[in-house]
Structure 1
Amino acid sequence: MPRTHLISVTRKWETEHSTISEFFISDALPHDGEIHHGFFLELEGPDTIEQRQRKRIVEGIFNLKWAISTNNRNIRRDLPLPHLYNSDVPDSRGIYIHVGNYPINSDGCLLIGRSRKVDEVSDSRSTLNALKKYLNRVGIENVRLIIKSEYQAV
């Protein structure tokens, strides 16, 4: 039976424009180019399971799979992309981990970055590539992404 690998995501900073989370991947191999620690920028709250709301997704445990196509032409160049889903957030909602730096770059997805500022993550493309390297090594279907909230002052 394959081992389950975890990406632990903690929402920490929220403004009227965005939510920024910190993530850790305990079994990543940074010396091999995989990402061990970084940040996700999501849109502001409240959390919702509804589609087309431009709000962040609910807390929970998510499965991942590769999205090999998308209607969003702005993110096509980075396909395949990690695609999140669970019993509350169907894959038809189209929640991806993708490149972007600011809230305007998201319709509810998680924008990945190596560092953060208020309402911004940076070094997005190289961080996504390092995450993809990890997901390819362990098998994306063996990974669970866990989102929880522990907010603190911006």
Structure 2
Amino acid sequence: MFVLIRDIITETAILGRLCFCGRVICNTLENRSKAIPCGMYAVLNSMSPKFKRELPLIWNEGVSASRGIRIHRGNSAKDSKGCILVGMGRDVKKSLITESALAETMVTMLCRGVSQLIIENESMH
């Protein structure tokens, strides 16, 4: 199971850390105005019609799979229309994550064996 802990909120983004087996494996970034609700989500890799590659798709009873929320590469809030971006590094002052292609590949591979994602808020500032 993955756990995404949101820990920083900026004017445009919500930054967090994605954990697997209790360890932080990468950073996350969501568009603040389009962030999905906290909760438990199902995770399943599938071919993304938009990105034309295998990516994790997440959904639950409140957020349908047809909404197309993916975990994918990107560096800033403008790269997300409601999806979760992943990156190996982050710059909180600039609301950016870095090395996102590497993080996407790793998370996509891990999601072949993971079926749940929990999203929760840490005390954000």
- Give the TM-score of the pair, scaled to structure 1: 0.74
Match of 2:61 in 1: 87
Q: How many pairs were matched up?
A: 123
Between structure 1 and structure 2, the one with the greater Rg is: 1
Instruction: Give the structure with the higher percent strand.
Output: 2
1:44 and 2:27 aligned: no
Match of 1:19 in 2: 14
CA shift digits 1:28-70 (9 cap, x unpaired): 8xxxxxxx5111100114xxxxxxxxx1000000001123132
Alpha-carbon separation, structure 1, partners of 2:31 and 2:17:
15
- Give the TM-score of the pair, scaled to structure 2: 0.90
Q: 1:87 to 1:117 in 2, by over 3 A?
A: same
Find runs of 4+ consecutive structure 1 residues off by over 2 angstroms.
none
- 1:5-154 matched pairs, under 5 angstroms: 6-26=1-21, 37-45=25-33, 55-70=34-49, 72=50, 75-76=51-52, 79-118=53-92, 119-136=95-112, 138=113, 140=114, 143-153=115-125
Q: Which runs of 5+ in 1 are unaligned?
A: 1-5, 29-35, 46-54
Q: CA RMSD for the aligned pairs?
A: 1.7
Q: Which runs of 5+ in 2 are unaligned?
A: none
Alignment-mate amino acid for residue 60 of structure 1: G
